[in-house]
């Protein structure tokens, strides 16, 4: 090595960086560091020669020589990058020879680091000559140098927190309004398709409708039954606790009857179905959209709304009232069991009291909402499914949106019904 | 490493239910070669690829990758081996929630301890080497064309400088010009990076232009040879494959190109 040379070894296994090496050098005039002792060589011996990249840099007959040696691969790249950044720079305008004769192994990252070094030196005004490149490395080095030449375009957007927040709020608001309008438009489209099918019932896909009745109705029975039963139990238990204080235990039946039949039964059903079937609709139609199946339907002269949306909506409008009735029965049954267990109200007493407490109009006030909820859930589910674009991620986003919007609309419409019923005096 | 084959398959048997796909299949892939794998539909080309990658367990037989039997590896060894293989799936299989640059950076982040700035630079180089424009890095896969998705998938497959590159129908769905460019890209990268390439393909032009050897899946096993050897093979499927109209066209094109190159210098 030439006198006054600088040398650093990089050993990935030890994570050794230039900090250790450069400590032994002291800066001399003209930006050239003079070599002190040989501690670097000592460290080198310890690690063995298997996995290291090293570089030495120093003046060499009139010019400057940078010698790379060892294994310039991905494993050594982190420390090697740091070492290259810290390596002493040649004097102004000196011709640089980048000697790669002793490079044993080279991969893309190593080639990039050395190429970047050569590029930087060139930019600083040195004439850089790469010498000693082994034939098996030449192609790689050339390819990486060419690829690395494309200048990085820094994509830095100005960060303006307050303006960004206002913009986002505005975008979300406009988006929500547009979404609501689109949904109303979609409702119109589905209605028109429905009417067309009523005129030509033979076009209705009965098999599809029955399939979705099974999927959304029959298969939902176990979970819906269990949850409604438990809600009935909880309501009866809490109601009994309060009513006991007034000695009005029997009125727990009234409480149960009104709340389950009017609100809780149908609301629970709608929420469970929105989570279960609304999301399934979005995922099914969304995946079809990703696979271009929806496009295929369109090109075959078929109507995606007629083929995909109407059977689902119709199936849900048939199943949801039935499911709601089933949830009512299970909820009352749960309440009756609890009333028997804690208040000693027999089933006979329970039914007699129920008869006197609620009329048929209470039941109807609950169940009349079911088809409306069904239509809303199916519409939102199918609409979001058709809005899926391109990717798998989009299916996930839209499915989440369908469930949230479905449940939101169900509760809003329930509130509207309550106001309406109170006006009508039902 | 010596001259040991980088992929070594012995006595491979694959069954799906009652159906036998491979029966006693042997295959050696040598270091630095480009092997094209062809076969009719249902002969188990993709299945073979998945078995070598360890995604499917074969019913019998051994598969050695870079000298390691893939069945007997523990988790750490498997991960280390996977870092030395790169896979380009048929449709790119880019992660749709990430940008192209993030896709390429992911294996580097997971498998190396490089500083983030260097990872970003290396990813940029890989994207450029795969022949994508610099602004492609910030795009999401949904914004790319089919050819660009393949190139982005290739950049990700090459992220860790693998020894072996697996390609599943790399030129399927590309226009002829794009396919030829992709072939040239693969050949250039294979030469400069010293890759071993295992390529499932149906593109006869790829087979004739960049493959060193061709493996044909017939009769539940595999026949490996050079193009010339396959041309002389009397097996009806192989004969039909290489001597059918499309095969002839590809061969003629190859001869024309060779003659042109010869004439030029």
Residue B145 lies in a domain: no
- Both tokens assigned to A182: 């689109």
Structure tokens at A151: 């200048």
pLDDT, tens only, B72-92: 888 888 888 888 888 888 888
Rounded to a whole number, what is the distance in Å from the CA of B179 to chain A's nearest CA?
20
pLDDT number for residue A9: 55
CB within 8 Å: A390 and B142 = yes
Instruction: Give me the pLDDT at residue A275, please.
Output: 94
Contact predicate B129/B170, CB 8 Å: no
Q: Which of A267, A198, A306 is nearest to A413 (CA)?
A: A267
Closest chain A residue to the Cα of B162, Cα to Cα = A107
For an interface test with B, give the residue of A11, A143, A390 to mutate (most B CBs within 10 A): A143
The reported pLDDT for the residue numbered A56 is 80
Chain B within 8 Å of A153 (Cβ-Cβ)? Answer: yes
Determine contact: A135 vs chain B, CB below 8 A. Answer: no
Below-50 pLDDT ranges, chain A: 1-5, 11-49
- B144 interface with A at CB cutoff 8 Å: no
Q: Which residue has the tokens 């489209």?
A: A189
Contact, A137 vs A99, CB < 8 A?
no
Which residue from B minimizes the CA distance to A145?
A: B125
Residues of B in contact with A155 (CB under 8 A): 138
A319 φψ region: left (φ > 0), alpha (ψ -120 to 50), beta (else)? alpha
Per the CB < 8 A criterion, the answer to whether B127 and B136 are in contact is yes
B91 part of contact set with chain A, CB < 8 Å: no
Please tell me whether residue B206 adopts helix, strand or coil conformation.
Answer: helix
Consecutive H or E run containing B128: helix B116-129
* Distance of alpha carbon B252 from alpha carbon B205, whole angstroms: 10
CB A392 within 8 A of CB B91: no
Q: Find out whether A193 and A305 touch, Cβ atoms under 8 Å.
A: yes
pLDDT of residue B253: 81
Q: Is B138 on the interface with A (CB under 8 A)?
A: yes
Of A107, A150, A389, the CB nearest to B128: A150
Question: Shortest CB distance from B124 goes to which of A109, A136, A152?
Answer: A152
Q: Is A393 on the interface with B (CB under 8 A)?
A: yes
| Residue A256 structure tokens | 């149960």
pLDDT of residue B145: 86
Nearest alpha carbon to residue B94 among B47, B53, B152, B44: B152
Which long-range contacts link A395-400 to residues 24+ away (Cβ below 8 Å)? A395/A282, A395/A283, A395/A286, A395/A287, A395/A290, A398/A282, A398/A286, A399/A279, A399/A282, A399/A283, A399/A286
SS3 string, B25-65, reads EEEEECCCCEEEEEECCCCCHHHHHHHHHCCCCCCEEEEEE
With beta carbons less than 8 A apart as the criterion, state whether B30 and B74 touch. no
The reply to whether residue A143 touches residue B192, judged by beta carbons under 8 angstroms, is yes
Q: Is A424 within 8 Å of chain B by CB?
A: no
Fold (topology level) of A6-149: Transcription Regulator spoIIAA (3.30.750)
3-state secondary structure chain A: CCCCCEEEEECCCCCCCHHHHHCCCEECHHHCEECCCCHHHHHHHHHCCCCCEEEEEEEECCEEEEEEEEEECHHHHHHHHHHHHHCCCCCCCCCEEEEEEEEEEECHHHHHHHHHHHHHHHHCCCCEEEECCCHHHHHHHHHHHHHHHCCCCCCCCCCCHHHHHHHHHHHHHHHHHHHHHHHHHHHHHHHHHHHHHHHCHHHCCHHHHHHHHHHHCHHHHHHHHHHHHHHHHHHHHHHHHHHHHHCCHHHHHHHHHHHHHHHHHHHHHHHHHHHHHHHHHHHHHHHHHHCCHHHHHHHCCCCHHHHHHHHHHHHHHHHHHHHHHHHHHHHHHHHHHHHHHHHCCCHHHHHHHHHHHCCHHHHHHHHCHHHHHHHHHHHHHHHHHHCCCCCHHHHHHHHHHHHHHHHHHHHHHHHHHHHHHHHHCC
Query: Would you state the pLDDT for residue A210?
Result: 95
Q: List the structure tokens of A101.
A: 């004769």
Q: Compute and round to an integer the Cα radius of gyration of chain B.
A: 19
For residue B134, the chain A residues in CB contact (below 8 A) are 150-153
Name chain B contacts of A144, Cβ cutoff 8 Å: 125, 129, 192
Q: Is residue B254 in some structural domain? A: yes
Q: What is the pLDDT of residue B133?
A: 86
d(CA A98, CA A196): 79
Asked if the C-beta of A77 comes within 8 angstroms of chain B's C-beta atoms, the answer is yes
In a domain, B32, yes or no: yes
pLDDT digits (tens, 9 = 90+) for B112-157: 888 888 888 888 888 888 888 888 888 888 888 888 888 899 899 8
CB atoms within 10 A of CB A205: 16
Q: What is the pLDDT of residues B213-227, one digit of tens each?
A: 999 988 888 888 888
What integer best gives the mean pLDDT of chain B?
A: 85
The answer to whether B112 contacts A390, with C-beta atoms less than 8 Å apart, is no
Residue A130, beta-bridge partner list: A98
Element (H, E) at B154: helix B146-157
User: CB count, 10 Å around CB of A400?
Assistant: 13
Q: B191 touching A, CB under 8 A? A: yes
pLDDT of residue A231: 95
What number is the average pLDDT over the span B233-250?
84
Give A-chain residues touching B122 at CB under 8 angstroms. Answer: 77, 108-109, 112
CATH number assigned to the domain comprising residue B44: 3.40.50.300
Does residue B113 sit within a domain?
A: no
Count, in order, helices (H) and strands (E) of chain B: 10, 10
> Which residue among A77, A148, A390 places its CB closest to the CB of B128?
A148
B124–A contact, CB cutoff 8 A: yes
* CB contact residues (below 8 A), chain A span 223-282, against chain B: none
- The shares of helix, strand and coil residues in chain B, as percent rounded to the nearest 5, are 45, 25, 30
Contacting residues of A for B191, CB less than 8 Å apart: 139
In sequence order, the β-bridge partners of residue A71 are A105
Q: What are phi and psi of B103, to 5 degrees?
A: -60, -45
In terms of Cβ atoms closer than 10 Å to its own Cβ (0-12, 13-18, 19+), residue A315 is buried
Asked if the Cβ–Cβ distance from A108 to B124 is below 8 Å, we say no
Across the interface, whether the CB atoms of B118 and A77 are under 8 A apart is answered: yes
pLDDT of the residue at A376? 95
Chain B residues within an 8 Å CB radius of A76: none
- The whole domain housing B236 covers 7-84+162-264
Q: Which residues of B touch A53 (CB under 8 A)?
A: none
Please state whether beta strands A96-106 and A128-131 pair in parallel, antiparallel, or not at all (unpaired): parallel
Sorted by where each begins, the domain ranges of chain A are: 6-149, 174-424
Q: Give the model's pLDDT for residue A50.
A: 52
Count how many domains chain B has: 1
**Chain A neighbors of B125, CB-CB under 8 A:** 108, 112, 144, 147-148
CB atoms within 10 A of CB A180: 12
User: To the nearest whole angstrom, how far is the Cα of B153 from the nearest Cα of chain A?
Assistant: 16
ipTM of predicted complex = 0.72
User: Chain A: nearest CA to B147, how far in angstroms?
Assistant: 16
Q: Which residues of B touch A139 (CB under 8 A)?
A: 191-192
* B114 neighbourhood in chain A, CB within 8 Å: 74, 77-78, 81, 109
| Cβ(A249)–Cβ(A345) below 8 Å | yes
Residue A171 Ramachandran class (φ > 0 left, ψ -120 to 50 alpha, else beta): alpha
Report yes or no on B95 lying in a domain: no
- pLDDT at residue B131 in the model: 85
Shortest Cα–Cα distance, B210 to chain A (Å): 17
Query: Tokens in use for B93?
Result: 């299989």
Which pLDDT belongs to residue A6? 54
Cross-chain Cβ contact A78/B113 below 8 Å: yes
- Those residues with Cβ within 8 angstroms of residue A75's Cβ, 6 or more apart along the chain or in another chain: A12, A51, B112
């Amino acid at each position: 090595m030439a006198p006054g040379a600088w040398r650093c070894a990089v050993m990935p296994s030890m994570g050794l960086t230039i900090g250790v090496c450069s400590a032994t050098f002291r800066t001399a005039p003209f930006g050239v560091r003079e070599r002190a002792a040989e501690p670097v060589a000592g460290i080198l011996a310890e690690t063995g020669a298997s996995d290291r990249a090293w570089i030495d840099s120093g003046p060499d007959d009139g010019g400057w020589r940078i010698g790379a040696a060892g294994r310039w691969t991905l494993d050594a790249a982190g420390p090697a990058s740091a070492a290259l950044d810290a390596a002493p720079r040649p004097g102004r305008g000196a011709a640089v020879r980048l000697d790669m004769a002793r490079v044993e192994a080279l991969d893309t990252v190593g080639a990039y680091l050395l190429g970047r070094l050569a590029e930087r030196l060139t930019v600083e005004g040195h004439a850089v000559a790469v010498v000693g490149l082994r034939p098996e490395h030449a192609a790689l080095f050339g390819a990486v140098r060419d690829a690395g030449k494309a200048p990085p375009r820094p994509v830095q957007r100005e960060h303006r927190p307050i303006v960004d927040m206002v913009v986002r709020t505005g975008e979300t608001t406009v988006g929500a309004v547009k979404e609501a309008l689109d949904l109303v438009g979609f409702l119109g489209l589905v209605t028109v398709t429905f009417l067309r099918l009523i005129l030509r019932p033979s076009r209705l896909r009965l098999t599809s409708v029955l399939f979705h009745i099974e999927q959304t109705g029959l298969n939902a029975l176990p979970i819906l039954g269990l949850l409604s039963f438990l809600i009935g139990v909880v309501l009866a238990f809490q109601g009994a606790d309060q009513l006991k204080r007034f000695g009005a235990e029997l009125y727990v039946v009234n409480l149960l009857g009104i709340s389950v039949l009017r609100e809780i039964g149908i609301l629970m059903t709608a929420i469970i179905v929105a989570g279960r079937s609304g999301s399934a609709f979005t995922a099914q139609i969304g995946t079809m959209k990703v696979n271009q199946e929806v496009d295929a339907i369109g090109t075959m002269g078929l109507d995606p709304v007629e083929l995909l949306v109407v059977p689902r909506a119709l199936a849900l409008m048939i199943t949801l009232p039935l499911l709601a009735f089933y949830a009512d029965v299970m909820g009352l049954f749960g309440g009756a069991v609890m009333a028997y267990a804690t208040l000693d109200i027999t089933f006979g007493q329970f039914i007699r009291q129920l008869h006197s407490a609620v009329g048929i109009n209470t039941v109807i006030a609950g169940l009349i909402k079911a088809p409306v909820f069904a239509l809303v859930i199916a519409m939102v589910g199918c609409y979001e499914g058709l809005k899926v674009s391109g990717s798998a991620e989009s299916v996930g986003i839209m499915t989440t949106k369908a469930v949230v919007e479905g449940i939101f609309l169900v509760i809003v419409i329930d509130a509207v019904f309550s106001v309406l019923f109170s006006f009508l005096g039902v | 490493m010596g001259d040991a084959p980088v992929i070594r398959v012995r006595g491979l048997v694959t069954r799906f239910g009652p159906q036998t796909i491979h029966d006693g299949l042997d295959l050696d892939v040598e270091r630095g070669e480009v092997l094209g794998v062809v076969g009719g539909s249902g002969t188990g080309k993709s299945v073979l690829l998945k078995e070598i990658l360890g995604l499917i367990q074969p019913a019998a037989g051994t598969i050695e990758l870079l000298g390691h039997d893939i069945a007997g590896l523990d988790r750490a060894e498997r991960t280390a081996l996977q870092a030395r293989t790169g896979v380009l799936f048929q449709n790119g299989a880019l992660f749709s929630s990430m940008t192209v640059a993030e896709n390429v950076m992911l294996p580097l982040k997971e498998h190396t301890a490089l500083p983030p700035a260097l990872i970003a630079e290396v990813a940029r180089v890989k994207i450029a080497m795969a022949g994508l424009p610099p602004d492609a890095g910030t795009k999401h896969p949904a914004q790319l064309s089919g050819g660009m998705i393949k190139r982005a998938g290739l950049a990700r497959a090459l992220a860790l400088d693998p020894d072996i590159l697996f390609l599943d129908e790399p030129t399927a769905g590309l226009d002829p010009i794009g396919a030829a460019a992709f072939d040239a890209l693969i050949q250039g990268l294979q030469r400069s990076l010293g890759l071993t390439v295992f390529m499932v393909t149906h593109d006869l032009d790829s087979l004739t232009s960049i493959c060193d050897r061709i493996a044909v899946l017939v009769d539940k096993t595999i026949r490996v040879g050079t193009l010339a050897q396959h041309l002389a093979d009397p097996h009806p499927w192989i004969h039909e494959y290489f001597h059918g109209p499309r095969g002839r066209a590809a061969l003629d094109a190859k001869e024309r190109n060779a003659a042109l190159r010869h004439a030029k210098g």
